[in-house]
Amino acid sequence: MYPIFDLHMHVVPEIDDGARSIEEALEILKIAVSRGVTDVFCTSHSVNFDKGGKNYKETFQKLSDAVNMAKIPVKLYKGCE
């Protein structure tokens, strides 16, 4: 099986119009993995990196930690559109 890279996913929670929580983001990632996705570029809107007092880098790290704790076999990358 070949790796599948998703190059555009709004999965970092509470940053823009994607996942609304860590739990929702984990569910989205589980579905992606079940369909063969191995790598995800977390491409939030560039203007929203600090929307509503949320910091993209800190929230991305929380998501990465949650993915590791949940043992979801996916690699996350920071990105923006």
**Residue 54: its pLDDT value, please?**
60
39, 3 Cβ separation under 8 angstroms: yes
- pLDDT tens digits, residue range 12-65? 998 888 899 999 999 999 999 999 999 999 988 776 665 554 688 889 999 999
What average pLDDT does range 1-19 have in this prediction?
Answer: 91
Residue found under tokens 């992606």: 32
Which DSSP string corresponds to 48-69? GTTGGG--HHHHHHHHHHHHHH
**Residue 80: its pLDDT value, please?**
81
Please give the angle made by the CA atoms of 15, 8 and 75, to the nearest 5 degrees: 90
How far from chain centre, in Å, is Cα 81?
Answer: 14
